[in-house]
Each structure stands twice: as C-alpha cells, then as structure tokens.
C-alpha cells in the first residue's frame, strides 16, 4: 500500500499561487491544434497525466507534437491528415480524451481502438457511441458499446439533431467534433448549459458555431486554421486552495491567472453565498477564455442547498465543496448530482466514505449528499481510490485535522495537478 503522510493542523496559509493550466482547455488545444491546418503553439499547457495521454494518442495518429514543459508545438494535419494508428490508443485515466477522440475518429475512414485504465473501463460510453452511430460511424465496444475497449471504423457522416439526455460537455463536444466532419448541420440540444470550451475553441480556430440557448449547431466541412492558445489557470485546481484559504485559520491566499469562464464559476457563486471572504480582481473578460486573479481569506461560513443548473457549473468541485460544508454552520444539501456516480470514482460514495472517516457528519443520497456542519475533523488513513480530486480534497481536509492523516495513492493527483504538493508547501512557510 503506497501511503503518504499529509500535513495536518496548520496555523495559517499565506502566499501566492500561479494556478496551472486548465485541463479541459489543454486537452482541446491539442485536439484542435491537430485537426487544424498549420502550426499551433500552446503556452501554460497542463502537464498532468491526462493531457499527456491526449498528446500521445494524437502522436499515434501521425501528428507531430513537440512538448517542452508547458509549451507545446503542434504541426496540425487537418482532419484529413490523421492516419490510421498501428497501435491501440491508450487514454489512461482521461474521460475527456476518450470521449472527445471518439468524436474525431467517428469521421475518419480508418480503424482504431481505444482503451484506458481500470477507472475508464467502468465509465459509461453509450452516451457518446449512440449519437455517433446515429451520425453514421461504425463503433462498438464491450457490453454493446457501453465500455472500453472501444473500436471505431469511421467514415462518411451525416448531420443529426440530438437531444443529450445527460448534462455533459464531453458528449456535446464529441458530437460537435463529429459534426464538423459530417454533411449538413449537426445540432446538439442540452438539458442544462455545460462548459463551452469546445464552442469557443471552434471559433478561436476560425470555425463557425451557432449557439441559441441550450442548442449548439455546426456545419460540416469547415476548414480550421492553426491558432495559438494561452491556457488559463484551471478553476477546478484553484478550488482546492480557495477552500483551503477559507477553512484554515488566519489565512490569506492569492491565486493568479484563474479561468473565469461563466460555465465553470459555480464554485465562486456557492462560496460567496456561503459567506466566503473571496475577491476577484485583474479580470480580463475579453480574452477568448476570461481570466482573473482571486484573493481568499479565512471565512465564517453557512450551509446552503446546491442543485439544478448550478451542478454542471461546479460538477468537478463537489468533493472539495463537501469538505467546505463540513466547516459551515448548518446543513448543506447537494442534489441533482447523480453524474458524480460516473466520474473517475463514484464520487458520492468516495467523498462520503472518506470524509466520514475523518469525523465529518455526512450522508449519501441518491443524487448527492447532505452535510451537517460544523464538525472538527480528527485523522486516520484515507484513500484517493486513484481519483485525483478525492486525493486533493483529502490533502486539504488534513490541514484542519487534529490527528495524523495518511493518504493512500496520493500519486493519482498528478492526473490534473502535478505540482499540487509543492504549491501547498509554499503556502505553509
Ligand atoms: C469535462 C467535462 C465534465 C468534467 C470533466 C471534464 C470536459 O465531464 O467532469 O472533468 O473537459 O469536457 P462531463 O462532460 O462528462 O460531465
């Protein structure tokens, strides 16, 4: 058992962090750099394991990609230049890689196979394979296309109109990426607005996309052109330090260059409503992805109900919001969040189980969880279960624990935040 001893019971956190690149945007910058024609340079690229999986998959499709730390140069081939891979495409732990790549491969007239790790093998894929089949792609997988390995023989596609049954940016993006290669118009209708990085990226790379409320349409046959991308910091990574600053006594943390795309800022709305001393400044809302700096101070918090259309705007932050709620007066209810069950782990189970081990008063519901605050957290052996966001949430929880905390599989954190522990260390000194 690989266990890491976490820092516990700290008196204060102070200092500044430059938040690493956004995971969703880093993935898409590689994909769009590859399917556009010409040379794309990406800066502030996230070097987490998930984004490295995306690079390696596109290299296997014949795209020349040179990575030098956070700078990546892609010699885009356009859709037509992608080549049949001689090897299996391994996405590791990355749901975004596999689902978006399926959309790209659906329109390519060749054979490919996608696999991932044990977590990916349990995650539902019919939500993507079904609409891609409707567009005309040949796709199959274990259990009728629900699970990896997935095989694709892409080809000539025809645009469809599709109502996505779950709120998922990955599903929307896969359909749009296939739609760019299909004849006619492809229209995706969402149940709730999800992150719109793909729509923004299509436009940034010179393409056209039409957004009308919850529907998004693209025309097939558009030629995308290389465009440089400076990736903003990941608000989902910043979230761990926002919560840390709010719950550790005597703290003041500045977070630089954080992405402020409104489809991702649910955490800010929730923290403000709970009473957090959180300020945003240096905003650049005109950038292709809006950014700004944040200051968080130790806060006096109260519980609230979180549900409805807010959920897709903070879906990845729910583990750390649950921790925040343990330090808020009163009850916090998280509902309408069944999607948590099909993330890297079943995050309703893993959050509730691990926080309860530390002494939190938290219970699982069918579509979320209920947290009773405020509780003192004690200590113990906790497990990330290989889920990066569970690992980071527990490392932040340890900061306010009274006794020793040991974390099983802290290595999972490198999926989205390889410098997490060194950034935390800097705030302790
Ligand atoms: C992502 C979308 C979300 C999110 C995931 C990244 C993306 O998943 O949880 O971490 O980059 O499109 P769903 O679209 O499946 O909800």
Reported as a single tens digit per residue, the pLDDT across 226-279 is 999 999 999 999 999 999 999 999 999 999 999 999 999 999 999 999 999 999
Please tell me whether residues 147 and 281 are part of one structural domain: no
SS3 6: coil
pLDDT averaged over consecutive 10-residue blocks of the chain (429 residues)?
94 98 98 98 98 98 98 98 98 98 98 98 98 98 97 97 98 98 98 98 98 98 96 98 98 98 98 98 91 98 98 98 98 98 98 98 98 97 98 98 98 98 95
Instruction: Kindly report the protein residue whose alpha carbon is nearest to atom 15 of ligand 1.
Output: 168
pLDDT (0 to 100) of residue 1: 67
pLDDT (0 to 100) of residue 286: 78
Please tell me whether residues 194 and 45 are part of one structural domain: yes
Distance 98 CA to ligand 1 centre (A): 11
Q: With residue 121 as reference, give the H or E element that holds it.
A: none
Residue 60 C-beta-side C-alpha neighbours within 13 Å: 19
Q: Which two tokens stand for residue 76?
A: 């885009």
Q: Tell which atom from ligand 1 comes closest to the C-alpha of 167.
A: 16
Cα angle 256, 100, 34 (rounded to 5 degrees) comes to 80
Please tell me whether residues 153 and 273 are part of one structural domain: no
Per the listing, tokens 């403000």 go with 272
Distance 61 CA to ligand 1 centre (A): 23
Please tell me whether residues 88 and 150 are part of one structural domain: yes
Q: What is the CATH number of the domain that holds 289?
A: 3.65.10.10
pLDDT (0 to 100) of residue 429: 75
Q: Which two tokens stand for residue 177?
A: 């990426």
Q: Is the CB of 24 under 6 A from ligand 1?
A: yes
Distance 25 CA to ligand 1 centre (A): 11
Q: Which two tokens stand for residue 63?
A: 């795209």
Please tell me whether residues 27 and 64 are part of one structural domain: yes
CB–CB of 162/126 below 8 Å?
A: no
DSSP string of 158-182, one letter each residue: B--EEE-SS--HHHHHHHHHHHTTS
Q: Is the CB of 169 under 6 A from ligand 1?
A: yes
**The 37-43 sheet, strands edge to edge:** 64-68, 71-77, 37-43, 229-230
Instruction: Kindly report the protein residue whose alpha carbon is nearest to atom 4 of ligand 1.
Output: 316
Please tell me whether residues 173 and 108 are part of one structural domain: yes
Report the chain's C-alpha Rg in angstroms.
Answer: 21
Q: What does the CA dihedral 6, 12, 18, 19 come to, rounded to 10 degrees?
A: 50
How many domains are contained in the chain? 2
The terminus-to-terminus CA distance of the chain in angstroms comes to: 30
> Annotated binding residue at 343?
yes
Helix, strand, coil: what percent of the chain each, to 5?
35, 30, 35
Strand segments, DSSP code E, in 47-101 are 64-68, 71-77, 89-90
Q: Which of 230, 255, 271 is the last residue of a domain?
A: 230
Domain of residue 349 covers 3-21+232-428
Q: Is the CB of 97 under 6 A from ligand 1?
A: no
State the pTM of this model: 0.98
Q: Is the CB of 237 under 6 A from ligand 1?
A: no
Q: How far apart are CA 368 and CA 352, in angstroms?
A: 10
The alpha carbon of 184 is separated from its chain's Cα centroid by a whole number of angstroms, namely: 30
SS3 4: strand
Q: How far apart are CA 191 and CA 184, in angstroms?
A: 23
Q: Which of 186, 210, 230 is the last residue of a domain?
A: 230
**Residue 87 burial (10 A CB sphere; 0-12, 13-18, 19+):** exposed
Distance 216 CA to ligand 1 centre (A): 17
Instruction: Kindly report the protein residue whose alpha carbon is nearest to atom 9 of ligand 1.
Output: 316
Q: Which of 230, 262, 281 is the last residue of a domain?
A: 230
């Amino acid at each position: 058992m690989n266990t890491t001893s976490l820092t516990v019971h700290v008196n204060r956190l102070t200092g500044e962090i430059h938040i690493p690149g956004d995971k969703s945007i880093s993935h898409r910058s590689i994909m769009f750099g590859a399917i556009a024609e010409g040379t794309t340079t990406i800066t502030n690229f996230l070097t987490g394991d998930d984004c490295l999986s995306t690079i390696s998959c596109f290299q296997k499709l014949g795209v020349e990609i040179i990575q030098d730390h956070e700078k990546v140069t892609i010699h885009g081939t356009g859709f037509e230049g992608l080549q049949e891979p001689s090897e299996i495409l391994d996405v590791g732990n990355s749901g975004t890689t596999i689902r978006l790549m399926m959309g790209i491969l659906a329109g390519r007239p060749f054979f490919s196979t996608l696999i991932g790790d044990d977590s990916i093998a349990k995650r539902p894929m019919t939500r993507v394979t079904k609409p891609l089949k409707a567009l005309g792609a040949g796709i199959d997988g274990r259990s009728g296309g629900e699970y990896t390995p997935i095989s694709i023989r892409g080809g000539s596609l025809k645009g469809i109109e599709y109502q996505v049954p779950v709120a998922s940016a990955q599903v929307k993006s896969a359909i749009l990426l296939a739609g760019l290669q299909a004849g006619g118009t492809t229209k995706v209708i969402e149940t709730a607005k999800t992150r719109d990085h793909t729509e923004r990226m299509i436009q940034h790379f010179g393409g056209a996309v039409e957004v009308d409320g919850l529907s998004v349409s693209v025309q097939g046959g558009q030629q995308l052109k290389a465009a440089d991308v400076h990736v903003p910091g990941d608000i989902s990574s910043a979230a761990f330090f926002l919560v840390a600053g709010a719950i550790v006594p005597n703290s003041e943390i500045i977070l630089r260059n954080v992405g402020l795309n409104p489809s991702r800022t649910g955490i800010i709305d929730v923290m403000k409503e709970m009473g957090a001393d959180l300020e945003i400044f240096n905003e650049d809302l005109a950038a292709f992805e809006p950014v700004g700096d944040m200051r968080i101070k130790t806060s006096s918090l109260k519980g609230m109900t979180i549900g409805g259309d807010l959920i897709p705007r903070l879906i990845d932050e729910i583990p750390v919001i649950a921790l925040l709620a343990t330090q808020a007066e009163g009850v916090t209810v998280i509902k309408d969040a069944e999607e948590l069950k099909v993330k890297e782990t079943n995050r309703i189970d893993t959050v509730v189980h691990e926080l309860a081990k530390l002494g939190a008063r938290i219970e699982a519901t069918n579509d979320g969880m209920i947290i009773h605050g405020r509780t003192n957290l004690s200590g113990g052996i906790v497990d990330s279960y290989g889920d990066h966001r569970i690992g980071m949430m527990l490392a932040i929880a340890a900061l306010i624990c009274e006794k020793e905390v040991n974390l099983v599989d802290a290595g999972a954190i490198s999926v989205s935040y390889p410098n997490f522990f060194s950034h935390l260390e800097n705030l302790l000194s």
